Amino acid sequence: MAKRGNKRGSGDQFVKLPNVMARHPAFRSLSGAAVKVWIELNTHFMGTNNGKLYLSLNDAADLLLLSKGTAKRAFDELEAKGFIRKTQAGQFRGHWAAEWAVTHQKLKEEPASRAWQSFVPSAQQFRRIKERKEREQKRKKKLGTQVDPNAPHGSTTVPLEEAPGP
């Protein structure tokens, strides 16, 4: 009988993005730069080091090909919407990066705060989300939704409209 290898540490690491977070209006309202910074911060998370995630503005700008101003705005946006929390300020003169915690993971013995769940979109963002949902419902109703029997778990597919002829 073949010996089973230790599965721990045998594969690549990955960043976990829970569906509840990905579908939340707070996450959907993030700028592209903020999403890139959030992903980069999460690549530093190793399971027990939340609150000690190091990423400086300069490093974020260099790694993610952002300007320093855009990186700063991304950090501010993530903090304002509750996705990250600064646990210790950095120092430019001492060349110390700030320490960060992601709020969807537990911090030491505290449960995950998930502060992003309390984010309320602005009236304009809420209106755009509502309009997008209404357009999607109209499109599905107009085109009709078919169930693809070959698709896993009975997922639905929407047939494409035929392009007008020349």
Please report the pLDDT score of residue 121 as a whole number: 77
Residue-level pLDDT at 129? 76
Instruction: Name all domains of the chain by residue range, CATH numbers in brackets.
Output: 19-120 (1.10.10.10)
For the entire predicted model, the pTM comes to 0.69
89: which residues sit within 8 A by CB, 6+ positions away? Answer: 98
The neighbour count for residue 70, using CB atoms within 10 Å, is: 20
The per-residue pLDDT string of the chain (166 residues; one tens digit each, 9 = 90 and over) reads: 555 555 555 567 889 899 999 999 899 889 999 999 999 999 999 989 999 999 999 999 999 999 999 999 999 999 999 999 999 988 777 678 889 999 999 998 889 999 999 988 778 877 887 888 888 888 888 777 654 555 555 445 545 455 455 5
How many beta carbons lie within 10 A of that of residue 128, not counting itself?
14
- Tokens describing residue 82: 């509750």
